[in-house]
Structure 1
């Protein structure tokens, strides 16, 4: 018989047990502390402040972002949105046996997700979204308790393990979109998760059709599968999802009509089906009275817009542009709702503009361009003080423009062109403090341009062409410092051009042709640093062409059909400008330009005599002033005309030279001028042995012969301040040796100027061949070879040089073609060599050309190798499609990249965008290259291939 334990023994046993459990708990806490400290070591370099409380002495449960359970074990880790980067040690994290929540979203974590994740078997919540994670996502089938899984916006690739979700019957929210997974049909595993209320599958390479099983997900509130390759009709079963508040499947290839029963989705607030191939009418949507945002643009919808839309009290956004809709807009639309945006452009709508869309004082974007609208602009919009964009161009609107429209304080764009509108630009424009663009071309506007236009200080574009505007150009226009485009052609303007226009330093495009402007052309226009196009033809201008025009770098100059006289300035006496000066019989040429008489030897003297007589009549003082100016002019001419050989030159050769500096210097003269660039003139030099070279001449002095100050030339100022760095970069660039990179033979420098001697390319640039009058038919084989050669040149710059060279301005005009049409990458004016002391990831500099600039530059102002990859992708699209990076047909704020993506997704066939000049039997091969271009122009830099990978892909696409 066993003895009964005494109370004292029981107490002792309990004490021992408590001590054991205490030691065990202490051991567990010690282990978990070491796991967390290991996580700290992996991530603290990116943001040490997050881990201030993570140490050996603080309580484990007081660590920032850590929540423990009742036993003191780690239950939750929440380090989301903490700017963390580095690799996650999943092998140790998943040793936290009580871990139920791991939230690390909105950081910059990188690397792969290890297979060890499957050991976190108690996880209910996993958030890794908005990071830089990559590689395949592992099988997580053991995580059967998972309820929330967020993986969107990473770089995950390969096949997503959909089958691992089969046992996760409690899953409530699933977000795996915005990842470049392998192509896969719409997952049936997902539509069997009947507890889902949130499903995000956008932009993850889904294909095939929407399964009818989608109707099983009756708890869904949010369903998104946009920007995929889903085709076929919308299944009727989707009408069962009556709790849906948000449904988005834009930019797919869906066809057919909205199914019967679609009207049952009456809880919908946001619906976006834009960028598909849907058709039929919108009658099924007239019951959706809770709609806040409806976007159906870029489809094939027809019929009328339901009148019921005018009764929707919550409607804020309505986008229906680029469809085939007919009939009038609902006249009550916006009367009862805080309508913010309406875009019904590019349809066949008729009738009048609804009068009350700004009734609730919320309207910002009113876009109805390119329809068949008639009637007047309702007067109510003159009081729409929130309006930012008013675009009703290309309709048949008539009547007077309400005066207050011009003075709307928030308006950024007033676009009324191609209508029958009357009235004038009123003085109210002084209140338009945010107005950037006036597009009023081809109306019946009259009256004068008000002086108050100078108060609209943010104007960048004024187009009042093809109207009946009269009077003089206001002097105050010179106050518009941001103005870049001024189109006033085909009006009834008179008087002279105010010299103040020369103060608009941002002006790049001036067109005043076909008016009655008179007087002398102001010389101040010659000082506009950005002017690219100047058309003053068909006016009554007199006097001489300002000598200052020789400093302009113009792609278009037209001074024809005026009354200009005297000698053509030497800088303009080149064949390229000959037709631009016709119709001025009193002009003469100092050189032998055909179509112009040669100036007589004393023509300059007679003009000087006339000037002296006028000065003499004004008094002796003015005569002396004119004499001083005359002497300065002669000094300037003497300086410019002196022989280059008089200077002391320093030659640095980068290749074995077959010429002397004298041969180069002797050829720098007017008749050899072939172009003008931003930094100097370019000459074609033919050597005695017949070899042709291109020489860029850069003056280091101003027009009087004085050395330029730092303010007059930032480039040269930087050179004087950082000559060592500049010389080092030039030396590195000059050492480049690659068959697809233009060869710099040597530099020849003096105190006053520099000559850079390059290869000469008689076939011009790829831009010339694809887009200009110099077009030479390029067969597909040639285009392909140009693509491969250019890619190999960029691969060399990125991977083959001692230090990475980022070109930063890859474009078709910087790809030159030799006599065999082999490409050479040129113009390294913006190139950046990645120095050892500089982060290899990026550089902070203004770089690139509009249409070629990678999207991330707009918000980071940084460029790296992936920026070059994007620009090269644009060049590939030019080769395949034959269009420029920016074309009017692309639409408002769209470039070739977005146009291609929209076309491909909308039509479901890439053949539709291939250049019609490419034969049918080559189009499959062209499509292969287009697919590479689309990869290169991925929005996220991490998703773009390296140039080394691009070369490999192009070689794999070689024409058979």
Structure 2
């Protein structure tokens, strides 16, 4: 045999070495495979397909989201945005010894992140941001090689472990904002991380001043400190950070001027220091020629806008509203780029509107209201087809509006009010298919209103008041099915009021005062279900007042100074006290002072008088019989309650019971009675084991049941046509519900004649009791807030989380019960209804609910949905904020708490006056935030109200001491 050559021997040796090495490594790689499979198992409840390729017989390096090093070990796990849920299996993950990247952001991960994370010492990249964790962020001091750390918007609370970053000299990205951490001053340790290029600490409760030493972080490209509690001036040290691309400092309490030397930040593209208290001029900004977005609104800046901004080639967004700026806008502003947005409202700016801001064909919004701009609207904007909002009201603009502006296809809002414009609204408006709001009041417009306005089918509000429009109101206006407000007052319109307005079923305001309208008032106006403001005064209307107007629920009616004749409808007599019919000498009334008496009617024939007398006598006899029967029935009921044991009872339990049926039945007696209402009596029962229970006794017969519910009665609901049906409804609802904020139904005990519902007992009664009765408690704001949030969560559960979502239909403060710790429970489900499948809505043939809480749609439709509950809950929020009942004499005749609150949303002072005087000043801003939620909930149109899920989210954002400061006037007055 020929001996092997040296070369062949060497090759064999290398092969053996490689095989030996693979054998050594194989067990470790196999361990990684098993670890990945255990991670897959930990996420088995996630609704994701990312693990489809993770199989035991596959190469782990081919698993989706997995990257390996050259030896076949797991190096990276990239599972961000994969709809993962549950807890992170950190023990398994950190056993991957060569893991350098762990990316789990944008998922639905929950629970606590344990200290096991410290075992992932080889990590260089960690992303757990945008999840739903709880508890504190763990100490990560052993992962001192981290280069990227993302934990923003992840739900962590408590104190962030800043000291654990001490050894992370390689850290380049630190993103832990948008977490409700404990308040702290700016963490000094961060100032030593000199390799940082990305620092995101927005909305994480940092207070005090920004340190001058921020200038040490010379590698910073992005600096975000917005939505904190920062005070003092922007430090000069920030001007040393010449690599900065973005600076976000908005929504703090910063003062002073923009620092000298800001011009050094020549790479700055995004600058936002809005909603602070900055003063001085914008002179330094004139040197930042790479700016793309400039946002300094809601400050106290003064002086002129630097002319250099007109030469900036990349600028697309300018927001400088609510400052004290003067002088003109640069003529070439926005002409070099695809300019997108400008808002310089509420300043003292002068001069013309720059003509070329839409030159790039991308502009969306032009907001320049409340300044001193002059001249005409440049013709170039007539072809700006991307515009959605055009607001220049309260300026000194003049001339004709370019015709094309009326018909821009994406335009949603045109606001030209309070200027000196003239000319007509052109037929172009027929092309404005997206236009929702048209405000041109207080100008010198003239000509006829074109019939083509009916083709702007998205219109919701029209205000043409105080101009010179003439001609007839086009009958086609009735085709605007979404219109809610029509203001045509103070013009020269003539002819009749179009009867077609009767088909605008969403309209709630009509003002046609001070025109030359003639003819009769169309009876069709009486069919408008949501109309609450009707002003037709100072016209030449004639004929009788239509009886159909009596069906309206009007907050304002003014038909004065016309040529109306005939009797004033009886149901409208109260309006006469407001001068609603003055100046109509031909009107008459049998009861109103100051009006002539109507002509007497022909006498009634004798035989009709006899028939009427007989009917009256029969009615009196029937009424007497009914009263006697009720008396006897009530007396029988008293004895009946003492002999309930004579009945045969059937018990249905819905929880494990620790009491017996006989204990409940024996306790139904007068001594234990704590409440009466339309659906039954309520008793307080002490079971043998010491447990307190509330028992509702419902008779299955309707005869002589409770006639009227008191506002403060706990658990009870309004009378219904069938007590048995109501009982079955409540049992069906409550037996399936398991929620901490919904009252617990232990069992039902039924006989042929009556039934008993056994609830948990609420020792603190109802919220109504605690706010409005002799059992009133001094509820502090924190307690009120927790009651509001808990009740909202209960309703959210009913609407969104039940197997069969349901509407309650009688939400009110007396149906929110309070346990010994003042934790709320939603109660009284006698009116609740299961929601119909999508595409239909629950229909009720009677008005359900309680006066003051009932949503306005109940007045004009028997089709209601969960948004009616939202309205009622909004009223409850108003009770908590104001301490007032839903109906108070101080609100005025025919007005409730919603009307009263909305009437005070004019100034900051009047808004603050709504807050219950017992609530300390320190809470006022949080209270106003809750009031804002209440106002959203009580929107007149159901479609404009939020869902209960959104309500819960908004309330959680209003938690005391965890909110940013808000500007009351900005939230309620003049929102753009």
Equivalent in the alignment of 1:230: 230
CA contact (8 A) 1:914 1:923 kept: no
Deviation at 1:308, TM superposition (A): 0.8
CA contact (8 A) 1:298 1:320 kept: yes
CA contact (8 A) 1:242 1:264 kept: yes
Question: Which whole-Å CA distance do the structure 1 matches of 2:146 and 2:567 have between them?
Answer: 84
CA contact (8 A) 2:815 2:827 kept: no
Matched, 1:654 2:652: no
CA contact (8 A) 2:726 2:831 kept: no
CA contact (8 A) 1:798 1:805 kept: no
Question: Which whole-Å CA distance do the structure 2 matches of 1:353 and 1:830 have between them?
Answer: 61
What does 1:157-172 correspond to in 2, within 5 Å? 157-172=157-172
CA contact (8 A) 2:811 2:869 kept: no
Deviation at 1:400, TM superposition (A): 2.5
Deviation at 1:33, TM superposition (A): 2.4
| SS of structure 2 residue aligned to 1:336 | coil
Matched, 1:438 2:464: no
Greater mean alpha carbon deviation, residues 461-470 or residues 383-392:
383-392
Deviation at 1:22, TM superposition (A): 4.8
CA contact (8 A) 2:901 2:914 kept: no
Equivalent in the alignment of 1:426: 426
Q: Deviations over 1:424-465 (max 9, x none)?
A: 211221222221111111111121111111121211111001
Equivalent in the alignment of 2:213: 213
Structure 1: give runs of 5+ residues left out of the alignment: 1-6, 606-637, 668-683, 701-721, 741-763, 770-775, 852-860, 900-910, 954-960
What does 1:131-530 correspond to in 2, within 5 Å? 131-530=131-530
What does 1:572-583 correspond to in 2, within 5 Å? 572-573=572-573, 579-583=579-583
Equivalent in the alignment of 1:616: none
Q: Deviations over 1:360-379 (max 9, x none)?
A: 33322111100112222223
Q: Deviations over 1:492-525 (max 9, x none)?
A: 2111111111122221211112222121111222
Question: Which whole-Å CA distance do the structure 1 matches of 2:621 and 2:451 have between them?
Answer: 49
Question: Which whole-Å CA distance do the structure 1 matches of 2:854 and 2:396 have between them?
Answer: 33
CA contact (8 A) 1:809 1:849 kept: no
CA contact (8 A) 1:815 1:826 kept: no
Deviation at 1:254, TM superposition (A): 0.8
Pair 1:20–1:88, CA change in 2 (3 A): same
Q: Deviations over 1:811-853 (max 9, x none)?
A: 99966899xxx9x999999997999x99xxxx9999x9999xx
CA contact (8 A) 1:739 1:793 kept: no
| SS of structure 2 residue aligned to 1:494 | strand
Q: Deviations over 1:200-247 (max 9, x none)?
A: 111111111111121111111111111111111111111111111111
CA contact (8 A) 1:810 1:871 kept: no
Deviation at 1:47, TM superposition (A): 2.1
Question: Which whole-Å CA distance do the structure 2 matches of 1:75 and 1:126 have between them?
Answer: 13
TM-score w.r.t. the length of structure 1 is 0.71
Q: Deviations over 1:701-744 (max 9, x none)?
A: xxxxxxxxxxxxxxxxxxxxx9999665788999x9x999xxxx
Equivalent in the alignment of 2:601: 602
Deviation at 1:914, TM superposition (A): 5.1
CA contact (8 A) 1:574 1:593 kept: no
| SS of structure 1 residue aligned to 2:49 | helix
Question: Which whole-Å CA distance do the structure 2 matches of 1:850 and 1:389 have between them?
Answer: 35
CA contact (8 A) 1:797 1:804 kept: no
Question: Which whole-Å CA distance do the structure 2 matches of 1:545 and 1:283 have between them?
Answer: 64
Question: Which whole-Å CA distance do the structure 2 matches of 1:114 and 1:498 have between them?
Answer: 71
Matched, 1:923 2:949: no
Pair 1:479–1:230, CA change in 2 (3 A): same
Equivalent in the alignment of 1:609: none
CA contact (8 A) 1:873 1:934 kept: no
| SS of structure 2 residue aligned to 1:477 | helix
Deviation at 1:73, TM superposition (A): 1.4
Pair 1:322–1:41, CA change in 2 (3 A): same
Question: Which whole-Å CA distance do the structure 2 matches of 1:303 and 1:810 have between them?
Answer: 57
Deviation at 1:320, TM superposition (A): 0.5
CA contact (8 A) 1:805 1:832 kept: no
Pair 1:245–1:830, CA change in 2 (3 A): farther
Equivalent in the alignment of 1:713: none
CA contact (8 A) 2:281 2:301 kept: yes
Deviation at 1:111, TM superposition (A): 1.1
CA contact (8 A) 1:425 1:450 kept: yes
Q: Deviations over 1:99-126 (max 9, x none)?
A: 1111111111111111100110000111
Equivalent in the alignment of 1:64: 64
Deviation at 1:55, TM superposition (A): 2.3
Question: Which whole-Å CA distance do the structure 1 matches of 2:234 and 2:621 have between them?
Answer: 75
Equivalent in the alignment of 1:98: 98
Q: Deviations over 1:858-906 (max 9, x none)?
A: xxx99999999999778766679x9999979999xxxx9xx9xxxxxxx
Aligned residue pairs total: 799
Equivalent in the alignment of 1:561: 561
Question: Which whole-Å CA distance do the structure 2 matches of 1:604 and 1:217 have between them?
Answer: 98
Q: Deviations over 1:371-407 (max 9, x none)?
A: 1122222233223333221111011222232233222
Deviation at 1:42, TM superposition (A): 2.0
What does 1:694-733 correspond to in 2, within 5 Å? none
| SS of structure 2 residue aligned to 1:373 | strand
Question: Which whole-Å CA distance do the structure 1 matches of 2:782 and 2:527 have between them?
Answer: 39
Pair 1:765–1:324, CA change in 2 (3 A): farther
Question: Which whole-Å CA distance do the structure 2 matches of 1:817 and 1:886 have between them?
Answer: 22
What does 1:827-866 correspond to in 2, within 5 Å? none
Question: Which whole-Å CA distance do the structure 1 matches of 2:540 and 2:826 have between them?
Answer: 43
Pair 1:793–1:240, CA change in 2 (3 A): closer
| SS of structure 2 residue aligned to 1:70 | coil
Pair 1:602–1:941, CA change in 2 (3 A): closer
| SS of structure 1 residue aligned to 2:518 | strand
Q: Deviations over 1:589-633 (max 9, x none)?
A: 58x56665665662899xxxxxxxxxxxxxxxxxxxxxxxxxxxx
Question: Which whole-Å CA distance do the structure 2 matches of 1:371 and 1:170 have between them?
Answer: 51
CA contact (8 A) 2:806 2:834 kept: no
| SS of structure 1 residue aligned to 2:374 | coil
| SS of structure 1 residue aligned to 2:447 | coil
Q: Deviations over 1:123-171 (max 9, x none)?
A: 0111111111221000101111111111111211111111111211111
CA contact (8 A) 1:578 1:593 kept: no
Deviation at 1:414, TM superposition (A): 1.0
Equivalent in the alignment of 1:54: 54
CA contact (8 A) 1:506 1:529 kept: yes
Pair 1:323–1:865, CA change in 2 (3 A): same
Equivalent in the alignment of 1:714: none
Deviation at 1:28, TM superposition (A): 2.2
Question: Which whole-Å CA distance do the structure 1 matches of 2:76 and 2:621 have between them?
Answer: 77
Deviation at 1:340, TM superposition (A): 1.5
Question: Which whole-Å CA distance do the structure 2 matches of 1:943 and 1:103 have between them?
Answer: 30
Greater mean alpha carbon deviation, residues 580-589 or residues 175-184:
580-589
What does 1:669-818 correspond to in 2, within 5 Å? 784=779, 788=783, 792=787, 795=790
Question: Which whole-Å CA distance do the structure 2 matches of 1:581 and 1:876 have between them?
Answer: 39
Pair 1:232–1:581, CA change in 2 (3 A): same
Question: Which whole-Å CA distance do the structure 1 matches of 2:121 and 2:111 have between them?
Answer: 22
| SS of structure 2 residue aligned to 1:215 | helix
TM-score w.r.t. the length of structure 2 is 0.69
Pair 1:943–1:561, CA change in 2 (3 A): closer
CA contact (8 A) 1:539 1:561 kept: yes
CA contact (8 A) 1:866 1:946 kept: no
